[in-house]
RNA sequence: GCGCCCAUAGCUCAGCUGGAUAGAGCACCGGACUACGGAUCCGGGUGUCGGGGGUUCGAAUCCUCCUGGGCGCGCCA
């Protein structure tokens, strides 16, 4: 629909003597009386052509060749050109949608370009919390979205399984282990205090018994750290699975050290003279890349900072042949962005090869009262608990009906209360409802197989025309979502589509006494279902046949 | 002190990258087909778009200052 107009408009604009036409904006006007699609292009041209916008609009409108396509082409307001399509055109486009299916809905904007999306990447020192859930929902939806748009997408998870934090986890588990055994123990001062630490200790008792009752932590360290890591990682994967999120690659930080990747990355920076020693530590010349201070890679005690392995990790990503890298981070890491971009430049690549998408913080409330989400503190609400309490689809939907950069307060009480009335069901119900219409049709002995031949010209009610236009507008929403990397646009589109389907259903019967009309309406329902399923799939939401 | 993000209806949020009279859902009130699922539908109103200034044909959207909130600014991760 939009593409057809785009092409005709471009020709018309060239026809009035504009050699290099600007980008032609096309939008759906807010009022139906303003036509189906609209363009402000005449107003944009007014300045350069030094003519009144309405005159230009008249000229362009007169030059649009689209006989058989437009019912009306009108100039309105300060200089908008409004287009209203002929019903025949809408019907033939709907026919195409039904025939081509998702091919009609998607556009190949990626052209097979490789893109890696890294998200969640939580420290394996504690369970996933709600903030991770937001990253997971957005990252998963964005991945599906870009995949549908013809990108080759890799979903990546980075596991920080090296360094002092995981050692501290092991030490905390060790202390709990001794505690459970009734042995004297000293809990590390900054240790992890959540219940999950004791859970791990219990699991160790189950599998290793009292094998380590006489060991010091130094002796038992490897076992405790590895066991704890494996268990945390397994639980993380379980949580993500129950949230409907999957990953293609799990990059271990430890592996980057063991394979020599970190060493290599540092050497390559060194070879470029971007590294120096001072005060016993090794520094990266971040200031040469716009940072306000240089950054330590290796501390004076010999330990590497996270930054060191991040350099190696991103070097490895780039060498993986990706055209674009996307990192989805919590907004509390925003200060880290220039540092990492600097490194990418230092490694000899374009800075904008990496796009960091910040997902704003989620503050958790329960009945208006703040709930702490600190991993070190004893009490916090995990993603798992929220999924169990509120449900995966509802939780995801709450995340996907907001711009990622909007701050979000997630009130558990409100979410649960809203759960029964949640808009996600409104959308899913449209799908389920269509399924029962088809079941009903079959019961009535109406064939639902041969809808290809249906005469869609039968669809003349205004609710039907509106619905068709909305369906044909899906590619526009899709394109905007892809270009802006904003999956939430799909969410809003689906709510609007369902918001047209339900009233239609209540006004007009699909299965009627007239076979021709029935076939056409069934075909329309099938198209609605197709689009809803496609949208829900992209968002990572389920599309149950019955609810 | 410096930097990033946010502020739109009572609440939760959209607003298609500068366009027409700023929109949904929730909540509240009233109503609906002996037929395809009432998780539905129909009707009812609400705005100094946080505030001031600027840019221009035109600003919720861009610039600037201010206010308020969130988050960063380590040889932490």
**C-alpha to C-alpha distance for A169 and A73, rounded to whole angstroms:** 68
Q: Confidence class of residue A145 from pLDDT cuts 50, 70 and 90?
A: very high
| Closest residue (Cα, C1') to B69 | A407
Nearest-nucleotide field for A297 (CA, C1'): B75
Instruction: Please indicate, yes or no, if residue A349 is contained in any of the structural domains.
Output: no
**C-alpha to C-alpha distance for A503 and A278, rounded to whole angstroms:** 71
Q: Over the stretch A444-499, which tens digit does the pLDDT of each residue have?
A: 988 887 788 899 999 999 999 999 999 999 999 999 999 999 999 999 999 999 99
Residues contacting A368, CB < 8 A, separation 6+: A411, A413
- A511, A517, A521, A523 alpha-carbon torsion, rounded to 10°: 110
Which residue range forms the structural domain that includes residue A523?
A: 423-539
Question: Quick check: A53 CB within 7 A of strand B?
Answer: yes
> Taking chain A, what is the end-to-end CA distance rounded to the nearest angstrom?
33
Question: Quick check: A499 CB within 7 A of strand B?
Answer: yes
A window 133-152: Cβ near strand B (< 7 A): none
**C-alpha to C-alpha distance for A194 and A182, rounded to whole angstroms:** 19
Q: Exposure of A263 by Cβ count < 10 A (0-12 exposed, 13-18 middle, 19+ buried)? A: middle
Residues contacting A500, CB < 8 A, separation 6+: A463, A466, A467, A470
pLDDT at A391 over 80: yes
**C-alpha to C-alpha distance for A150 and A296, rounded to whole angstroms:** 40
For residue A95, the 8-state DSSP code is H
Question: Quick check: A513 CB within 7 A of strand B?
Answer: no
Q: Confidence class of residue A86 from pLDDT cuts 50, 70 and 90?
A: very high
**C-alpha to C-alpha distance for A315 and A336, rounded to whole angstroms:** 16
A window 83-142: Cβ near strand B (< 7 A): 123
**C-alpha to C-alpha distance for A504 and A428, rounded to whole angstroms:** 16
Instruction: Please indicate, yes or no, if residue A17 is contained in any of the structural domains.
Output: yes
Together in a domain, A76 and A168: no
> What pLDDT score was predicted for residue A49?
82
Question: Quick check: A50 CB within 7 A of strand B?
Answer: no
The answer to whether the CB of A17 falls within 8 A of the CB of A63 is no
Q: Over the stretch A253-288, which tens digit does the pLDDT of each residue have?
A: 999 999 999 999 999 999 999 999 999 999 999 999
Together in a domain, A67 and A174: no
Query: CA A192 – C1' B24 distance (Å)?
Result: 44
% of chain A beyond a pLDDT of 70:
97
**Number of Cβ atoms within 10 Å of the Cβ of A319:** 11
Together in a domain, A430 and A534: yes
HSE, side-chain direction, 13 A CA sphere, residue A52:
6
Q: Which residue has the higher pLDDT, A379 or A367?
A: A367
Last residue of a domain, one of A85, A106, A126: A85
Q: ipTM surpassing 0.90, yes or no?
A: yes
Question: Quick check: A462 CB within 7 A of strand B?
Answer: no
Query: CA A267 – C1' B25 distance (Å)?
Result: 56
**CATH, residue A454:** 1.10.730.10
Together in a domain, A64 and A171: no
pLDDT at A523 over 50: yes
**C-alpha to C-alpha distance for A460 and A423, rounded to whole angstroms:** 29
Own/partner pairs, A422-427, CB within 8 angstroms, 24+ separation? A422/A394, A422/A397, A423/A397, A423/A495, A424/A393, A424/A394, A424/A396, A424/A397, A424/A541, A425/A547, A426/A495, A426/A498, A426/A499, A426/A502, A427/A494, A427/A495, A427/A497, A427/A498, A427/A532, A427/A535, A427/A536, A427/A541
Instruction: Please indicate, yes or no, if residue A457 is contained in any of the structural domains.
Output: yes
Question: Quick check: A336 CB within 7 A of strand B?
Answer: yes
Instruction: Please indicate, yes or no, if residue A325 is contained in any of the structural domains.
Output: no
Beta A152-159 vs A295-298: how paired, if at all?
Answer: unpaired
Question: Of the given ranges (A51-55, A92-96, A295-299), which has the lowest mean pLDDT?
Answer: A51-55
A window 167-186: Cβ near strand B (< 7 A): none
pLDDT at A246 over 80: yes
Last residue of a domain, one of A85, A100, A117: A85
pLDDT at A375 over 50: no
Instruction: Please indicate, yes or no, if residue A417 is contained in any of the structural domains.
Output: no
pLDDT at A251 over 70: yes
Last residue of a domain, one of A65, A85, A105: A85
HSE, side-chain direction, 13 A CA sphere, residue A313:
25
Question: Quick check: A163 CB within 7 A of strand B?
Answer: yes
How many residues are present in chain A?
547
Query: CA A328 – C1' B11 distance (Å)?
Result: 29
A window 349-368: Cβ near strand B (< 7 A): 358, 360-361, 363
pLDDT at A78 over 60: yes
Instruction: Please indicate, yes or no, if residue A391 is contained in any of the structural domains.
Output: no
Instruction: Please indicate, yes or no, if residue A119 is contained in any of the structural domains.
Output: no
Query: CA A515 – C1' B58 distance (Å)?
Result: 52
Query: CA A231 – C1' B27 distance (Å)?
Result: 44
| Closest residue (Cα, C1') to B23 | A30
pLDDT at A404 over 60: yes
Instruction: Please indicate, yes or no, if residue A114 is contained in any of the structural domains.
Output: no
**CATH, residue A48:** 3.30.1360.70
> What pLDDT score was predicted for residue A364?
83
Q: Over the stretch A198-232, which tens digit does the pLDDT of each residue have?
A: 999 999 999 998 899 999 999 999 999 999 999 99
**C-alpha to C-alpha distance for A328 and A44, rounded to whole angstroms:** 36
Number of domains in chain A: 3
Query: CA A51 – C1' B74 distance (Å)?
Result: 60
- Return the structure tokens found at A502: 């339900």
Question: Quick check: A440 CB within 7 A of strand B?
Answer: yes
Residues contacting A77, CB < 8 A, separation 6+: none
Q: Over the stretch A128-138, which tens digit does the pLDDT of each residue have?
A: 999 999 999 99
Alpha helix ranges (H) inside A352-487:
383-390, 392-400, 412-419, 423-443, 462-472, 474-484
Largest CA distance in chain A: 91
Mean pLDDT across chain A, nearest whole number? 92
The residues with which A277 forms a beta bridge, in sequence order, are A282
Which bases on strand B have an atom closer than 7 Å to a protein beta carbon?
Answer: 3-7, 12-17, 19-27, 32, 35-37, 39-42, 57-58, 69-77
């Amino acid at each position: 629909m939009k593409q057809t107009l785009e092409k005709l408009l471009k020709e018309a604009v060239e026809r009035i003597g504009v050699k290099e036409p600007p980008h032609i904006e096309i939008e759906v006007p807010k009022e139906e009386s303003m036509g189906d699609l609209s363009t402000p292009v005449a107003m944009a041209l007014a300045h350069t052509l030094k003519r009144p916008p309405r005159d230009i609009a008249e000229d362009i409108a007169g030059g649009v060749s689209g006989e058989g396509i437009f019912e009306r082409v009108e100039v309105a307001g300060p200089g908008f050109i409004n287009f209203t399509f002929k019903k025949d055109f809408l019907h033939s486009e709907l026919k195409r949608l039904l025939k081509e299916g998702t091919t009609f809905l998607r556009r190949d904007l990626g052209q097979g370009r490789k893109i890696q999306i890294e998200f969640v990447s939580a420290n394996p020192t504690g369970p996933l919390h709600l903030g991770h859930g937001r990253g997971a929902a957005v990252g998963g939806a964005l991945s599906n979205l870009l995949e549908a748009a013809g990108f080759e997408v890799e979903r990546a998870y980075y596991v920080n399984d090296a360094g002092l934090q995981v050692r501290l986890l092991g030490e905390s588990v060790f202390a709990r282990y001794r505690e459970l055994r009734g042995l004297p123990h000293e809990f590390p001062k900054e240790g992890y205090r959540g219940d999950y630490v004791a859970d791990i200790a219990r699991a160790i008792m189950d599998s290793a018994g009292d094998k380590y009752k006489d060991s010091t932590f130094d002796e038992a360290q490897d076992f405790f750290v590895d066991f704890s890591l494996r268990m945390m990682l397994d639980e993380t994967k379980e949580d993500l699975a129950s949230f409907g999120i999957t990953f293609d690659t799990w990059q271990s930080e430890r592996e980057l050290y063991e394979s020599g990747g970190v060493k290599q990355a540092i050497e390559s920076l060194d070879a470029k003279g971007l590294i120096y020693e001072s005060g016993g530590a090794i520094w990266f010349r971040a200031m040469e890349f716009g940072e306000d201070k240089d950054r330590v890679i290796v501390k004076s005690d010999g330990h590497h900072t996270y930054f060191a392995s991040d350099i190696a990790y991103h070097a490895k990503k780039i060498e993986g042949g990706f055209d674009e890298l996307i990192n989805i981070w919590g907004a509390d890491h925003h200060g880290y962005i220039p540092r990492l971009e600097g490194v990418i430049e230092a490694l000899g690549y374009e800075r904008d090869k990496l796009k960091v998408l910040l997902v704003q913080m989620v503050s958790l409330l329960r009945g208006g009262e703040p709930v702490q989400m600190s991993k070190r503190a004893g009490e916090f609400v995990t993603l798992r608990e929220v999924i169990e309490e509120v449900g995966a689809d509802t939780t995801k939907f709450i995340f996907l009906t907001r711009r990622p950069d909007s701050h979000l307060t997630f009130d558990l009480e409100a979410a649960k209360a809203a759960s029964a009335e949640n808009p996600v069901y409104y959308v899913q119900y449209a799908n389920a409802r269509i399924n029962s219409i088809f079941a009903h049709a079959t019961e009535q002995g109406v064939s639902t197989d041969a809808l290809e031949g249906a005469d869609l010209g039968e669809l003349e009610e205004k609710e039907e025309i509106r619905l068709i236009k909305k369906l044909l507008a899906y590619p526009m929403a899709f394109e905007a979502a892809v270009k802006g990397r904003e999956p939430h646009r799909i969410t809003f589109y689906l709510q609007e589509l369902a918001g047209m389907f339900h009233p239609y259903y209540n006004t007009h019967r699909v299965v009627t006494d007239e076979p021709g009309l029935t076939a056409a309406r069934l075909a329309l329902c099938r198209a609605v279902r197709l689009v809803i399923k496609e949208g829900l799939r992209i968002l990572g939401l389920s599309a149950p046949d019955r609810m």
